[in-house]
Amino acid sequence: MTTIAESHHHHHAPTGIKRWLFTTNHKDIGTLYLLFALLMFLTGGAMALVIRAELFQPGLQFVEPHFFNQMTTVHGLIMVFGAVMPAFTGLANWMIPMMIGAPDMALPRMNNWSFWILPFAFFILLMSLFMEGGGPAFGWTFYAPLSTTYSNDNTALFVFAVHIMGISSIMGAINVIVTIVNMRAPGMTYMKLPLFVWTWLITAFLLIAVMPVLAGAVTMVLTDKYFGTDFFNAAGGGDPVMFQHIFWFFGHPEVYIMILPAFGVISTIIPTFSRKKLFGYASMVYATASIAFLSFIVWAHHMFTTGMPLAGELFFMYSTMLISVPTGVKVFNWVATMWRGSISFEVPMLFSIAFIVLFTLGGFSGLMLAITPVDFQYHDTYFVVAHFHYVLVTGAVFSIMAGAYYWLPKWTGNMYHIGLAKAHFWLSLISVNILFFPMHFVGLAGMPRRIPDYALQFADFNALISIGGFAFGLSQLLFVAVVYKCAKGGQKVPAKVWDGAEGLEWEVDSPAPYHTFSEPPEVK
Amino acid sequence: MRLVKLSLWLLLSFPFLAVGTSQYNLPVGVTDISRDVYELHMTIFYICCVIGLIVFAIMFWAIIHHRKSKGAVPAQFHESTKVEILWTAIPFVILIAMAVPATKTLIAMEDTTKADLTIKVTGSQWKWHYEYLDHDVSFYSVLSTPREQITNQDEKTETYLLDVDKPLIIPKGKKVRFLMTSDDVIHSWWVPEFAVKKDANPGFINEAWTRVNETGIYRGQCAELCGKDHGFMPVVVEVKEPAEFDQWLANAQLEKAQAAAAEKASLDLTLSKDELMTLGEQVYMANCAACHQPTGMGLPGVFPALKDSPIALGDVKAHIGIVVHGKPATAMQGYSKMLSLKELAAVVTYERNAWGNNTGDLVQPSDIQESMGEAQ
């Protein structure tokens, strides 16, 4: 016991700004990641509101088309790289060491570094909006040659920003892998890992595999624009479609990077509030691994209209359809976990149930999009926009909200204001569907995505969508209020906040002490 | 809980309600392929609905009946190899059932052989160019919705943003093959009623085809983000009876010959400054103002200003050269294919004398011809 007492005496954490700048503590860094993600979520959300304000009525009212394109582009980049990914990294930082009984992440200094370069990346990206000619306006997918020959110098800033984000992600992923492989408590075998840890382990491998591909793509864009290469320039022997192959070879695993940890969070919460063990633990692990594998062989389903050989179209159609099998297994397992459980509806559970229903809706539209002949009709319409917002907002973002409401009492030691949190849930649930559900219809009716103005037959639904958008955006301020109040104080909670919860993180005090598991626990 | 049930019911029945009014569903379209695609879409949609209903019904049954507040005691089971194999296998069977018709339709869509007519479709920022190969007819097709409607000064018409000056004309019942390419960035040519959407890639040629069963006017839009005015490059196709189409084609060829004659005649013209400036302003507003702006100020950092610019104030020949041939590796395209000698002369004159660019230079059609000749 002397070691524990000593570590308490030796703990001279700096205070103020220095505590946060120099911290190597996984909990501090987790907090930084989560707060940064929240800030970016609100920033990207504000841009979405600019888009929805412009699309409220047909005609150009508020912004010029060129600025509109900057908003769609930067909204996408911020939400993907600034909100969803850092939020999951934040959850990983906070929870993985506590879940596997490790004292910290394996590489704490690198952990500090991988967070602190992120604000600079987004500073560069956001500042590019103020340069002459504005920021990136070529879509978050930055297809060449729109992003090379036909773009202004924001391309350079965009490329540097993406490089920094990529380096940050890779370092974060290395840290996760090294931590999980080396620092599990004695007795914590792989098949005893909490599912959130498993999904993050697989996600980390995906990150290491594809972030360098993204780095390659942006570098080729940079050299095409500034150093006379012709990777994507047909006039010089290059191929603009090759850009899309490279981009989506990164891009498709990327979407699973944003959803696999969500599966982990949901697989943690559903059993807790069903008071029953997760159904089919092993098949959950195998399903996650299968999804990760399949994510590497489906990329060209984003490109069916680019002009592929028939054999290519058939291959990518079949492989994409296959993804619904392991994804289905996951949904079935969650439902089976709830079946004959003893269910209660605390806020994290509400978000998780909404996740299952709405993510599955997104999965269905995903299956429809996989069918190549019909995809020709859906491609680049609002149907696609509806699809990926269902899987990313009511999927990834709802799971992050669920995770935050699940672990917030553990982080702060206080229970949040449940009334406010429930209001946040119900307002979000209703408004998010007003926001994204009608997008299916305008898409099917023929409205292309990324347009600042539209034909009159789309007007009614667009007005409705915009109302939903503003309602959803404003509802998120409630989340900020809940988190703020909870950090300030509230009803004290015990170590095991939820009666049905299982896992090592519930064996430490609430709030979790600055250092946990200095001595590894024994896992039976 | 009632609220949950009600909202879920609404959520699930909403698509069924919407199907009734086809305005909010995929169009059935006017080709055999588009019908097949529609059928496929509906089949898969219904399969998804059935799966969704079953899964969510089970889940909500559990939510309602297996609640802690009702005193439910949790069961102990947490795996069942049999059930897990079953719900891995069943989706496989459903997927195969989906893949068979999808494969058939796809193979039919990709068969571009035995076409009756071939049309080359070229996208450029932000208009379409159609060329009837073997018939020596070609023209640009540009958005014709007036600027005042877009900026909300005028009432919007029914076909707002879906009108062009010259639609593509094709014959009914004939297999028309499209060859798609682009002059600058990637565009995507899309007519929902034909179920044809194909990217126009610079430097490469893509193929697509259609055989339309009904005459009429069909409207679509560019589907791939292609820069500032991506939302303003509609596709309009008019399908005519074959006889009418032949007549139209003959007329178009005649008009082309007349235009060539007019071009020749215009070489001898000497236009006054007023004539040049009036025509020049029209041409400028229609073709140049999208980028260089009606004020000639451009968009700083994206599209250069013409007002007080070294090009508009400098050497006339250099100025003509850029307008006629474009500037490589920029968004500035050459207008020799698109505008007549007279129009080119007028627009260059306009750019050199508008917005306080008072050079006093007058450019005549013969000057343009001279510049074109030099380049060749």
**Range with the lowest mean pLDDT among A298-312, A339-353, A403-417, B74-88?**
B74-88
Determine phi and psi for A251, rounding to 5 degrees: -65, -35
Query: In whole numbers, what is the pLDDT of chain B averaged over residues?
Result: 90
Question: Tens of pLDDT along A278-329?
Answer: 999 999 999 999 999 999 999 999 999 999 999 999 999 999 999 999 999 9
Q: What does DSSP say about strands B117-124 and B176-182: parallel, antiparallel, or unpaired?
A: parallel
Q: A117, A234, A243: which is closest to A168 by C-alpha? A: A117
Q: A438, A507, A434, A500: which is closest to A469 by C-alpha? A: A434
- Closest chain A residue by Cα to residue B189: A305
Contact state of B221 with A65 under an 8 Å Cβ cutoff: no
> pLDDT at residue A242 above 70?
yes
Contact state of B226 with A379 under an 8 Å Cβ cutoff: no
Active-site pick, A116, A140, A143, A506: A140
Nearest-CA distance from A179 to chain B in Å? Answer: 29
pLDDT of A2 reads 40
pLDDT of B361 reads 87
Q: A341, A298, A340: which is closest to A317 by C-alpha? A: A298
SS3 of residue A93 by DSSP: helix
Q: CA-to-CA distance for B376 and B361, rounded, in angstroms?
A: 25
Nearest-CA distance from A284 to chain B in Å? Answer: 10
Question: Tens of pLDDT along B106-147?
Answer: 999 999 999 999 999 999 999 999 999 989 899 999 999 998
Q: CA-to-CA distance for A113 and B273, rounded, in angstroms?
A: 67
The set of residues, in sequence order, having a beta carbon less than 8 Å from that of A308 and lying 6+ positions away, is: A300, A316
Q: Name chain B contacts of A69, Cβ cutoff 8 Å.
A: 225, 227-228, 230
SS3 of residue B31 by DSSP: strand
- Closest chain A residue by Cα to residue B69: A344
Q: CA-to-CA distance for A415 and A434, rounded, in angstroms?
A: 30
Token code pair at residue B33 = 């392929």
Strand partners, B199: B188
Q: What mean pLDDT do residues B2-16 have?
A: 54
Active-site pick, A267, A412, A466, A516: A267
Token code pair at residue B285 = 């507003």
Q: CA-to-CA distance for A94 and A35, rounded, in angstroms?
A: 13
Contact state of A321 with B196 under an 8 Å Cβ cutoff: no
Rg (CA), chain A: 23
Q: Name chain A contacts of B202, Cβ cutoff 8 Å.
A: 145, 234-235, 240
Find which of B302, B303, B330 to mutate to test the A interface (most A CBs within 10 Å of its CB). B302
Instruction: Specify whether A375 is catalytic.
Output: no
Contact state of B223 with A380 under an 8 Å Cβ cutoff: yes
- Per-residue CA distances from B53 to A142, B11, B56, B58 (Å): 38, 11, 5, 8
Other CB atoms within 10 Å distance of the CB of residue A518: 13
Strand partners, B139: B130
- Rounded to 10°, the helix A85-100/A154-182 angle is 10
Question: Tens of pLDDT along A440-485?
Answer: 999 999 999 999 999 999 999 999 999 999 999 999 999 999 999 9
Rg (CA), chain B: 28
Query: In whole numbers, what is the pLDDT of chain A averaged over residues?
Result: 95
Rounded to the nearest 5 percent, the helix, strand and coil shares of chain A are 70, 0, 25
Preceding omega of B202 cis (within 30 degrees of 0): no
Q: CA-to-CA distance for B196 and A81, rounded, in angstroms?
A: 34
Q: Name chain A contacts of B24, Cβ cutoff 8 Å.
A: 441-442, 444-445, 461
Active-site pick, A52, A225, A330, A379: A330
Q: Name chain B contacts of A60, Cβ cutoff 8 Å.
A: 150-152
Contact criterion met (CB below 8 Å) for A463 and A56:
yes
State the residue for tokens 């990206």: A125
> pLDDT at residue A1 above 50?
no
Other CB atoms within 10 Å distance of the CB of residue A487: 15
Contact state of B59 with A452 under an 8 Å Cβ cutoff: no
Contact state of A321 with B195 under an 8 Å Cβ cutoff: no
Instruction: Specify whether A411 is catalytic.
Output: no
State the residue for tokens 């667009």: A462
Contact criterion met (CB below 8 Å) for A457 and A386:
no
Q: Name chain B contacts of A371, Cβ cutoff 8 Å.
A: 40-41, 44, 98, 102
Strand partners, B234: B221
Q: CA-to-CA distance for A457 and A58, rounded, in angstroms?
A: 10
Question: Tens of pLDDT along B206-231?
Answer: 999 999 999 999 999 999 999 999 99
Contact state of B229 with A335 under an 8 Å Cβ cutoff: no
Token code pair at residue B150 = 């877009």
pLDDT of B374 reads 61
Q: A25: buried, middle or exposed (CB in 10 Å: 19+, 13-18, 0-12)?
A: buried
pTM of the entire predicted model: 0.93
Q: Name chain A contacts of B23, Cβ cutoff 8 Å.
A: 445, 457
Instruction: Specify whether A422 is catalytic.
Output: no
- Per-residue CA distances from A348 to A41, A266, A342, A425, B155 (Å): 19, 9, 16, 9, 49
Contact state of B98 with A371 under an 8 Å Cβ cutoff: yes
Contact state of A373 with B195 under an 8 Å Cβ cutoff: yes
- Closest chain A residue by Cα to residue B159: A455
> pLDDT at residue A331 above 90?
yes
Determine phi and psi for B15, rounding to 5 degrees: -60, -40
Question: Tens of pLDDT along A377-428?
Answer: 999 999 999 999 999 999 999 999 999 999 999 999 999 999 999 999 999 9
The set of residues, in sequence order, having a beta carbon less than 8 Å from that of A78 and lying 6+ positions away, is: A40, A43, A44, A47, A122, A125
